[in-house]
Amino acid sequence: MSHPHPELSLPPALPEGGLRVVALGGLGEVGRNMAVLEHAGKLLVIDCGVLFPEDNQPGVDLILPDFDYIKDRLDDIEAIVLTHGHEDHIGAVPYLLRLRKDIPLVGSRLTLAFIEAKLKEHRIKPYTLEVKEGQREQLGIFDCEFVAVNHSIPDALAVAVTTAAGTVLHTGDFKMDQLPLDGRITDLRAFARLGEKGVDLFMVDSTNAEVPGFVTPEAEIGPVLDDVFAHADKRIIVASFSSHVHRVQQVLNAAHAHGRRVALVGRSMVRNMGIAADLGYLDVPPGVLIDLKKADSLPDDRIVYMSTGSQGEPMAALSRMANGDHKVQVEFGDTVILASSLIPGNENAVFRIINGLTRLGARVVHGGNAKVHVSGHASAGELMYCYNILKPKNVMPVHGEVRHLVANGALAVKTGVPADRVVLAEDGVVVDLVDGKASVVGAVPCGYVYVDGSSVGEITEAELKDRVILGEEGFVSVFAVIDTATGKVLAPPQVLARGMAEDASVFDKVMPEVTAALENAIAGGATDTHQLQQIMRRTIGRYVATRLRRKPMIVPVVLEA
């Protein structure tokens, strides 16, 4: 298996007749999925999603793919193909369309409905092309065939892209549930047909490549939810992704069976389920839904709240419930069901919410103690079936952390794909398919782009590091006034400390040192204010590190009088 090297240089020009693949997100992480295919001077984008921030990225709302690679070539983009409607695959579309509003969006009916609703909030009216499984479309020079795949959201599609360089099959997110709620299984017959024709590059979902066997069918969740509902005496709160139509369907069915009504909580939940119901993807039993404002009028044993926030997102409904900062106040005896799997990196946030809810007296049911969720991604057994059916010439694992990509590559090798035909890439790594062989040829700059309030891409890694330091180590500001005529420090420097366990008086011992250091520097000819501030910073920094074992942010200020 070919591994990317951290010192990869910029790639050479794409050979004539070749196909280039560059992932701008989704490789080495779970989220931010975006792949750019290039052939004959034209580009095709597959997915354009967001990544949600971790604890070490304070203040960040979303993380986008890095569009710099395509910023100067926006007019070359034939279309954006969206495999399904999850945020990690469509969430960054509004930010790309800000750069060129008329890029065609291609996707299934539900996927386009979700993205159109999102774009409406951004005041963008997109150009869309609705497709369904079995359909073929010529998107500029790219011949695209769409294949039904099963996932944790309806209407998911894989896409086979054919050019003169060969055929690339991109699975999107998929699994091989044989008993799906909507009866729409992954079309392995289409996979087999494509395999017979020849798949030159198989870009395949890696999220569950480390998990042996097969994913549990969605159908097995219903009875578990039914049992939890049967034993709940008070209110039930279910948290899930706001786009997980199948899970919401099961909650509606269980509520209806047990004489409860359901109130949707969270703006995205209300919006997405309204769309799903209008389009016929969500079957709402008569009289089950109730407006959140009227839910208080029902007895505790007759209400279910269907909420967002299953990943511990700070501003989502469930987090605010756990903090007592929401209209729905969790009380002793309530049952809370976290009906989603843990996205890597979110574990601490989720466990913090479970603890908070438990402290309030709720019974918390989650994947660790009940089968209330199954993954939407193919496990190792399913992936091997795909490799054996397709017999791809080259494999490029996508969608997953490095460990998932490596595990997926190993599965491909086990099924007979030559090791030198398995390409393990990360974000920004350039893979060329030339004469039937895929190989790493270089890398392009590809960083994180942070959305912070109204700013996009303004926050740098250095500023995030400053935020972490401020949060973990505290802040010290030191002021000194210098008489420029005499070179004397007019008064002992003043210290303001925040986020420090110790009282500011702890700095009294070092102030004479600071004064002496300043006066010695001035006597030695130092006149530059910045230079004097650095002397103060170093003196205070040494003291704090030695005496307090801390590394706070130190902001020195020198005023001249």
- In the annotated binding site for substrate, the residues are 373-377
End-to-end CA distance of the chain: 67
CB neighbours (10 Å) of residue 491?
Answer: 11
Question: How many whole angstroms separate alpha carbon 158 and alpha carbon 46?
Answer: 10
Torsion of CA 352, 353, 359, 362, to 10 degrees: -150
With a CB cutoff of 8 Å and minimum separation 6, the contacts of 137 are: 106, 129, 131, 143, 144, 146
Helix or strand holding residue 511 (H, E)? helix 511-523
Q: 338 is written with which tokens?
A: 């976290």
- Bind-site residues: 373-377
CA atoms within 13 A on the CB side of 61: 11
Distances (CA, A) of 425 to 50, 66, 194, 429: 19, 16, 24, 6
Closest CA to 376 of 148, 86, 108, 52: 86
Helix (H, G, I), strand (E, B) or coil at 404: helix
Question: How many whole angstroms separate alpha carbon 296 and alpha carbon 532?
Answer: 63
Q: 267 is written with which tokens?
A: 């703006």
With a CB cutoff of 8 Å and minimum separation 6, the contacts of 42 are: 76, 77, 78, 140, 141, 142
Question: How many whole angstroms separate alpha carbon 19 and alpha carbon 459?
Answer: 34
With a CB cutoff of 8 Å and minimum separation 6, the contacts of 419 are: 1, 413
Question: How many whole angstroms separate alpha carbon 248 and alpha carbon 253?
Answer: 9
